[in-house]
Structure 1
Amino acid sequence: MGQVSVTLNGRTYKLECGEGEETHLIELAEYLGTHVEAMRRKFGQVGDDRLILMASLVVTDELWELRRQMQEMKTTLAEARRDRSVADQSAKHFQSDLAARVGSAAERIEMLNDRLSELAATRTAQTPRR
């Protein structure tokens, strides 16, 4: 088990943490400490508990905003995936329709080719030879 000492508003606190988490815990405490210091500059020395509470609320507000933004991004991503799925289905339908139209046009061209070949053969047969 790891152990670290952190100082907030001039007061040192000893904390335990999991092995290897010491650096992260110190960074978190330093981040909270910057907010505690900002609250102390703004409101004066109103007591450790109150300063830490106010700073914690500011950090929690940041977390709440990030959670809201993340939820908004998840919603946007889900909408984009749904739109992509609709677009994919539309593209598949378009490709099928296009293939059917090309096939139909090819059949008509073959029929015209056959008629023209028959017409050419008929004219050749009807033309007197010299």
Structure 2
Amino acid sequence: MGQVSVTLNGRTYRLECSEGEESHLIALAEYLGTHVDTMRRKFGQVGDDRLILMASLVVADELWDLRRQVQELKTALAEARRDKSAADESARTAQADLAARVRAAADRLELINERFTHGGPTGGAANRR
């Protein structure tokens, strides 16, 4: 079990954490400490508990806003995926339609070619003399 000491508003707190998490916990405490310092400059020395509470609420507000943004991004991503699926289906349909039209045109060209090559229904070259 790891241990760290962090200082907020001039008071040192000893905390336990999982092994290897010490630097992360220190970074979190430093981040909270910047907000505590901001609150102290803004409101004066109103007590450790109140400063830490106000700073914690600011951090919680940041978290809340980020969670909202993540949810909006997830919603936008889901909509983009639905739009892509619809576009893919539309492209497949258009491609199948185009392939059918190309096949039909090729069939007509083959018929025309047969008529000119083999005399076809119009009697070919022998009937034109």
Scaled to the shorter chain, the TM-score interval is over 0.9
Residues 59-116 of structure 1, C-alpha deviations (whole Å, 9 max, x = no match) = 0000000000000000010011000000110010001000100000011111111122
1:13 CA drift (Å): 0.4
Counterpart of 2:113 in structure 1 is 113
Distance 2:108 2:11 in 1: 90
Single out whichever of 109-118 and 21-30 deviates more from structure 2: 109-118
Q: Which runs of structure 2 are paired with 1:1-130 in the superposition (5 Å)?
A: 1-117=1-117, 118=119, 122-124=124-126, 127=129
How far does residue 126 in structure 1 lie from its aligned partner after superposition?
Answer: 6.2
CA distance in 2, matches of 1:20, 1:110: 76
The runs of 4+ residues in structure 1 deviating greater than 6 Å are none
Verify the 8 A CA contact 2:4 2:14 in the aligned structure 1. Answer: yes
Comparing 107-116 and 51-60, the one that deviates more: 107-116
Superposition TM-score, scaled by structure 1 size:
0.92
Number of equivalent positions: 127
Root-mean-square deviation over aligned CA pairs:
1.5
Aligned pair in 2 of structure 1 residues 11, 113: CA closer, same or farther (>3 Å)?
A: same
1:110 maps to a residue whose letter is: E
- Report the Cα distance in structure 2 between the residues aligned to 1:126 and 1:50, rounded to whole angstroms: 107
> Contact 2:3 / 2:14 at 8 angstroms: preserved in 1?
yes
Percent identity of paired positions between Structure 1 and Structure 2 = 71
CA distance in 2, matches of 1:122, 1:97: 34
Matched residue SS, 1:73 = helix
